[in-house]
Amino acid sequence: MSIEVKVPAVGESVSSGIIAAWHKKTGDYVEANEAIMTLETDKVSTEIVAEKSGVLTIQAEEGDEVKVGQVIGEIDPDAEKPSGDHSDETPTTTPDAAEKEVSESKTDGATSDDPKTSPASRRALEESDLAASEVPQGSLPGRVTKEDVANHSEKGRDSAPSENTPAQKPVESAPAREPKSPLPSQPAGERTTRKKMTPLRRRIASQLVNAQQTAAILTTFNEADMSAIMGLRKKAQDNFVKKHGVKLGFMSFFIKAVVEALKSVPVINARIDGDELVENHYYDIGVAVGTQKGLVVPVVRDADQKSFADLEKELADVAGKARDGKLKIEDLQGGVFTISNGGIYGSLLSTPILNPPQSGILGMHTIQERPIARNGEVVIRPMMYLALSYDHRVVDGKEAVTFLIRVKECIEDPTRLLLEF
């Protein structure tokens, strides 16, 4: 009896997702607990695994939006596992089978560099007599969908001559003809590309608009001299890597500095819940990570209880999960404050937007050598602008400035972080 492959529940507030990729195709034999599909939701991407071994039949295509509990395929556990690779044996292919193999080879593409295709897109390619490499990729980079084939075929029909139009023999020396109209009409879709927003992008858009509409966001700025941290990292880096297996980065210093600042100004570690103010007594710090699909904010738990090495290892782990689409819902929940580092992209200054229901977010920026005054003299120092956006309903200006100055002090004199003063 076949086993239904259903969209699982991946979070309390998640009701649907998009099939980002099938890792198997109809007719493939899959092993139990083998990843067969990636589901992209408005929070995370999740790999769906096979419950039992058997032959897979796909009932929903890549790019389809599916509901939690919806049947998207079947696995036949009674089907026999295909025999192993017999490529070294003498071929016994019949003429009909050989013709079919040639057709499939043409459909799938001749090289390993060709984009991936789903069963539906391969059928569309075969019907259109196209190779996968000939079709421009659309909504899913690295893959050709059924819609990509249809759009390409439609464009080809629009630009192809009519069957009733006699073919004209080209003249080798004839110059290129100018268009009759100074503003020739463009084929539909050539100047623009329209595609659905991913669930994650829709979620990001909703969260940002919600933050702007419900919080009284204000931003205060300062700058930090990064000389001390840069000198400390350079001096300790080799021994740190040998002992802990990870590099000592800037983010662990900023997490430690934020924790110290939150302890000094506890109102920033609070949030509004209805008509109540909830003050947190723990320090779970969210760290924004940019991925190809959008910005996600995994949370570092109990940051006040972790060493620099613990923080760096956890940061490397969550960043890798974010890039690979393997974050879980619980990895993103419960943060009390967020740090966003736009400096890795070259941002000099910005005003970060709150991550509701949090009351504060710290924006880091690129390090730039600038002239500053020190002891009556102008010197060149590696400087970073810092931006604190906060909810003015909870935090007053004095408290926000005090918080940011505390962060600045800890960064410019990192011994404060080690000796906790």
Pairing of strands 143-144, 116-117: parallel
Backbone angles phi, psi at 102, to 5 degrees: -65, -40
User: Is 277 a residue whose pLDDT tops 60?
Assistant: yes
User: Is 390 a residue whose pLDDT tops 80?
Assistant: yes
What proportion of the chain, given as a percentage, has pLDDT over 70? 74
- Residue-wise pLDDT tens digits, 158-202: 444 444 444 444 444 444 444 444 445 555 557 888 877 777 777
- Residue-wise pLDDT tens digits, 227-268: 999 999 999 999 999 999 999 999 999 999 999 999 999 999
- Residue-wise pLDDT tens digits, 318-373: 888 888 878 887 888 889 999 999 999 999 999 999 988 999 999 999 999 999 99
State the Cα–Cα distance between residues 87 and 93, nearest whole angstrom: 12
State the Cα–Cα distance between residues 99 and 106, nearest whole angstrom: 11
Q: Minimum mean pLDDT among 19-28, 58-67, 127-136, 392-401: which range?
A: 127-136
* Per-residue confidence (pLDDT) for residue 154, from 0 to 100: 58
* Per-residue confidence (pLDDT) for residue 63, from 0 to 100: 79
Active site residue 129: no
273 versus 169: the higher-pLDDT residue is 273
pTM for this model (two decimals): 0.62
State the Cα–Cα distance between residues 364 and 407, nearest whole angstrom: 11
* Per-residue confidence (pLDDT) for residue 261, from 0 to 100: 97
Domains of the chain in start order, with CATH, are 3-76 (2.40.50.100), 118-157 (4.10.320), 199-419 (3.30.559.10)
* Per-residue confidence (pLDDT) for residue 248, from 0 to 100: 94
Sheet harboring 65-67: ordered strands across?
45-49, 35-40, 16-22, 65-67
Active site residue 396: yes
Residue of 129, 158, 238, 396 marked active site? 396
Residue of 64, 114, 244, 392 marked active site? 392
